[in-house]
Amino acid sequence: MSDTRYRLHPISALLNFLKGLKELVLPFLILFGANLLQGEGLPGRDLESLITYGAGAAVLLFLLAAGIIKWRRFVYWFEEGELRIEYGLFVKKKRYIPFERIQSLDYTEGIFHRPLGLVRVKVETAGGQGEGAEAELTAVPRADAARIEEVIEHAKNRVLGNGVSKETAGETAVAEENRREAAREIYRISSKELLILAATSGGIGVVLSGLAVFLTQFSEVIPYEMIYSEVMVFLRFGALIVALTVFISLLIIWLVSLALTIFSNYRFTILANDENIIITRGLLEKKRITLPFKRIQAIRVTENPLRELFGYAAVTVESAGGSAAEMGGEKIRLLPLVKRRDMLPVLERLFPETDWSPEFFKAPPRSVRFYYRVDFLWILPGAAALSYFFFPYGLLAFLAVPLSVALGIWQHRTAGWSAGRRQLTLRTRAISKQTMYVMRKRIQSAEVRQSWFQSRKKVATIQVTVKSGILGAAVRVEHLEKQDTERIMQWFRPQPDKEQEESPIQK
């Protein structure tokens, strides 16, 4: 099989075309929109609009041709234990990836893929240049994807157990099959969880800000004067209607984000075998990502105040390398939303070595002022300025003072740490409560930070950095007892005979 060269499914030409189109959609809209709005209605038959149409058609044709050529030139094959890919529109590129370097294959099935039984395959390696996957096969039949996986697994086994005759190869294949079968289902999102997730997700903010961005993009094109006069007419209908419209449009936005969240998290399922966690999700676009255990650096449990109130939490993992960036940051969502008491069994099954409910040391009572004192630096002048310029309503700005004090007290109460035998757990709050569980061997560096004010009160801040994606992610717990931060450092310090010394810090 080594020399057969495979092509992608022809649909990938269409997908390339659509991808190109998506990138051009905004400039296009502006071009045509401007034409539409400046002229009276649709562009006529004058030369100018003909040129615009012509240019548009040329761009479309170019994109279409590029899509087709990209598909024609893309070939992949297996040779000498490597996945080899050759592609490129103008510049021909070759990429050879040794099988043993391939960490995982991630599948996505978009709406174009599904009726044809195709998948998009992303090949992940540990290196990860940050700019997307190491290699991406836009559209291959599902059977081919399975075959790729098989070939790769096969090759990996051959590297491990050297010298393979036909039979043993067959045996390993069978063993392989068994192991893949053995991926157990650990968790599946319930419809209740899905609904609550959708209703309380920050997706609303995303859609809103998206809308804002959209509007600012168009601000030059939109004829504000025309709209303005219409708005004046509109205003005569009274404030009630305005409020109603605002409410209804917000409601629609909310419903859209609700639907989007449901679509993308539909049937969110976690499977696991000895080496990998496999996450599948999605209704219209199905995704399947494979997350090797050995790449997981830290686990975060996040509870935003609303969800915390009802006992819900979200779990993300920090994973090293790869192009996880495409999955929304190097943080991969392990559990999008789960009741705390349902979460523990899942996490315990996935990560039996981790202690999920350690006993926390708290920040000392005297450090509470540090949590809100800095905020006064900007709140007080800001509030003073507002009161001066918008007297008397500006005085309301001083309400920010008790609010920030309350938040500070809350943050102080949440802050905590725990150092077990091999595991450090840090808990902090910005607004959402975050608990990070990390193994000592995954901590890249630790730092104690102390300002002059902190040193007067003998408190200090601890910060640890873990690898996340191709960069680091730092977690900080602020204003702890100085003695405690020293103890954490001592705990982190490598010792010649760690095995004996390795001891948890207890109360």
Partner 1 sequence: MENQPKNHISRKGLTVWRLYGVIQTAVLTLLAAGGGTAVFFLDGPSWLYAVLAAVPLLYGFFAIYLFPKIRWERWRYEVREQEIELQHGLFIVKRTLVPMVRVQHVDTQQGPILRKYGLAAISISTAATVHTVPALVNGEADELRQRISVLARVAEDDV
Q: How many residues does the chain have?
A: 507
Q: Which stretch binds partner 1 (CB under 8 A): 76-84, 232-240, 406-414, 488-496?
A: 488-496
Q: Which stretch binds partner 1 (CB under 8 A): 68-76, 245-253, 377-385, 468-476?
A: 468-476
Toward partner 1, which CB reaches closer, 145 or 460?
Answer: 460
Selected binder of partner 1 within 129, 229, 444, 503 (CB under 8 A): 444
Shortest approach of partner 1 to residue 159 CB, angstroms? Answer: 21
Chain Cα centroid distance, residue 245: 33
8-state DSSP, 394: G
Q: Rounded to a whole number, what is the distance in angstroms from the first to the last CA of the chain?
A: 63
Selected binder of partner 1 within 194, 468, 479, 484 (CB under 8 A): 468
DSSP string over 205-223 = HHHHHHHHHHHHHHTTTS-
Selected binder of partner 1 within 292, 472, 487, 505 (CB under 8 A): 472
Q: Is 164 exposed, middle or buried (0-12, 13-18, 19+ CB in 10 A)?
A: middle
Selected binder of partner 1 within 121, 196, 277, 320 (CB under 8 A): 320
Binding flag, residue 450, partner 1 (CB under 8 A): yes
Toward partner 1, which CB reaches closer, 201 or 461?
Answer: 461
Shortest approach of partner 1 to residue 261 CB, angstroms? Answer: 31
Q: Which stretch binds partner 1 (CB under 8 A): 56-64, 187-195, 301-309, 445-453?
A: 445-453
Toward partner 1, which CB reaches closer, 17 or 491?
Answer: 491
Distance CA 296, CA 279 (A): 14
**What amino acid occupies position 10?**
P
Q: What is the size of the binding site for partner 1 (CB under 8 A)?
A: 29
Toward partner 1, which CB reaches closer, 298 or 350?
Answer: 298
Residue 486's nearest CA partner among 500, 505, 473 is 505
Selected binder of partner 1 within 324, 473, 475, 477 (CB under 8 A): 473
Distance CA 124, CA 145 (A): 14
Shortest approach of partner 1 to residue 444 CB, angstroms? Answer: 4
Alpha-carbon dihedral 254, 258, 263, 268, rounded to 10 degrees:
150
Q: Work out the angle at residue 348's Cα, subtended by the Cα atoms of residues 342 and 351, and round it to the nearest 5 degrees.
A: 135
Could you tell me where the beta strands, DSSP code E, fall in 3-70? 6-7
Distance CA 11, CA 138 (A): 9
Residues forming the site for partner 1 (CB under 8 A)? 320, 440-441, 443-452, 455, 465-468, 471-473, 486, 489, 492-496, 498
